[in-house]
Amino acid sequence: MRKKNNIPNLMVNLFLIIAAVFCLMPLLLALLNSFKTKGELLTNVLSFPEKILFQNYIDTFEKMNYLSSLKNNVIIVVVGVSLIVLFSSMAGWKLSRTKTRFSKVLFALFVFSMLIPFSSIMIPLYRVVMNLGIKNSLWGLGVIYSGMGVSMAIFLYHGFVKSIPKELEEAAEIDGCNQFQLYFRIIFPMLKPVTVTICITNVLWIWNDFLLPLVVLSKRDKYTLLLSTNMLFGQYSNDWTAILSALVLAAIPVIIFYAIFQKNILRGISDGAMKG
């Protein structure tokens, strides 16, 4: 019986290993070829480098102005995620506790907005950016990300708030808490599991996004890591060793971040959305 039960487990593990290798293969190939010379790269993509060239990374580090681009990424992520968490948690809490037709319609509109593709609003969004004067503004780009990310966050917060006993809020109100004290002292600390999930998913989304920064940012000193990497693509020729090393450098921070906080994603989703 044990052998029969082990066969499905072995098949599942084998499938997961194959899937992991398949998903990691592009990154592994990029890492492998980033240490090669141009001649080695064009000769055989799958071969190991004859000599590891760290000079590729040194040159690329300077070409893409790595530290400045990294700082720009951090500013955009911090502004966007902070605003998403603040406003979405408040909205999700109030929409969950307010049982009116208007609150239900408003929540449905937030959910419906998640279905709208970015390509359909790109041109109107660019006009709004120009009219507001936030072109080439890192803070403005963070605000735009917050507006685009609140819908999913409100959906998750709305479901999680339902698992919080309403008696806690009533007891706090009897003790004299106003709405802001009730939110910051009682509600928000209890939203930690789903807040962690929202923070992680939005950090990964904003960090890896390319199209929206391409629309909003045009000054070289405002570029994100991916925009700086895109500059390495020439009109008539491409330096693939520099491009691959740039992609590895751009991926390192988010890989480290994900490796540290990956356990919180499934925990937050299971404790958050599934409780709704």
Tokens of 226: 């991916």
CA 85/CA 90 separation, integer angstroms: 8
Tokens of 222: 């405002």
Asked if 269 contacts 198 with a C-beta cutoff of 8 angstroms, the reply is no
Question: pTM above 0.75?
Answer: yes
Tokens of 102: 């208007």
CA 84/CA 146 separation, integer angstroms: 5
CA 273/CA 155 separation, integer angstroms: 8
Q: What pLDDT score was predicted for residue 270?
A: 57
Q: What pLDDT score was predicted for residue 91?
A: 92
For residue 121, count other CB atoms closer than 10 A to its CB: 13
CA 225/CA 208 separation, integer angstroms: 9
- The residues, any chain, with a CB within 8 Å of residue 35's CB and separated by 6 or more, are 49, 52, 53, 54, 56
pLDDT tens digits for range 10-57: 888 888 888 888 888 888 888 888 888 877 777 777 778 878 778 888
Positions in the chain whose pLDDT score sits under 50 = 1, 272-276
| 270 backbone dihedrals φ, ψ, rounded to 5° | -70, -35
CB-hemisphere CA count at 13 Å for 250?
28
Enumerate the β-bridge partners of residue 233. 238
Q: What pLDDT score was predicted for residue 272?
A: 47
Place of tokens 């500013």: 75
Q: Does domain 60-275 have CATH number 1.10.3720.10?
A: yes
Q: What pLDDT score was predicted for residue 267?
A: 64
Nearest residue to 252 via CA among 51, 70, 32: 70
Over the chain, what HEC string results? CHHHHHHHHHHHHHHHHHHHHHHHHHHHHHHHHCCCCHHHHHHCCCCCCCCCCCHHHHHHHHHCCHHHHHHHHHHHHHHHHHHHHHHHHHHHHHHHHCCCHHHHHHHHHHHHHCCCCHHHCHHHHHHHHHHHCCCCCHHHHHHHHHHHHHHHHHHHHHHHHCCCCHHHHHHHHHCCCCHHHHHHHHHHHHCHHHHHHHHHHHHHHHHHCCHHHHHHCCCHHHCCHHHHHHCCECCCCECHHHHHHHHHHHHHHHHHHHHHHHHHHHHHHHHCHHHC
For residue 80, count other CB atoms closer than 10 A to its CB: 26
